[in-house]
Amino acid sequence: MRCPHCGEMDDKVLESRQNASGSSIRRRRECNSCGYRFTSYERIEDKPLMVIKRDGRREPFDLNKLGRGIRSCTEKLKVSESTIEQLLQSIEDSIMLKVGSKREIASSDIGDEALKQLKQVDLVAYVRFAAVYKAFNDLGQFIGEIQQLGEELS
């Protein structure tokens, strides 16, 4: 690796550490020419997961976008940030298992998985998310969704 101080390509690795999730390795290096110490990171470069939208467009999966939707529907509810983070991680894990090596998933599959897992966390958040995801446009759709929830819980 090229030394950022002198530009020489001769260095040695002093220490290597894996991050907690195992997705990258941090290496402390020392240039054999000038003695400058620096850090490098090594990670797996993966093909991005692509989301197939309802209109056929494709865009990269963005966990932050899903997070904004989840945070919006849990706003002013007693759902902690750590619960939201766990929920997002669980949804992402389920999605990755579902796509396997295809690296493409329909946006409806993401929404369905989010609804399925939100139902376990908070029913009000579930109904809020469903209202946007299923594009409710009248009171009857809200009532129908809530009645269906009531039947499932009975």
User: Is 18 exposed, middle or buried, given 0-12, 13-18 or 19+ CB atoms closer than 10 A?
Assistant: exposed
Pair (37, 107) in one structural domain:
no
Residue 6 inside a domain? The answer is no
In this structure, of 5-14, 59-68, 79-88, 97-106, the range with the lowest mean pLDDT score is: 97-106
In this structure, of 9-18, 23-32, 41-50, 80-89, the range with the lowest mean pLDDT score is: 41-50
Range(s) of the domain holding residue 99: 50-153
What confidence tens digit (pLDDT) does each residue in 44-92 have?
767 788 999 989 999 999 999 999 999 999 999 999 999 999 999 899 9
* pLDDT recorded at residue 149: 85
Pair (28, 77) in one structural domain:
no
* pLDDT recorded at residue 21: 65
Pair (99, 121) in one structural domain:
yes
Give the whole-angstrom CA distance, residue 119 versus residue 19: 32
The two most distant CA atoms of the chain are separated, in Å, by 74
User: Which of 116, 151, 140, 147 has the alpha carbon at shortest distance from 130?
Assistant: 116
* pLDDT recorded at residue 59: 95
Contact 87, 70 (CB under 8 A): yes
Residue 111: how many CB atoms within 10 A of its CB? Answer: 18
Pair (72, 22) in one structural domain:
no
- Count of domains observed in the chain: 2
Pair (36, 67) in one structural domain:
no
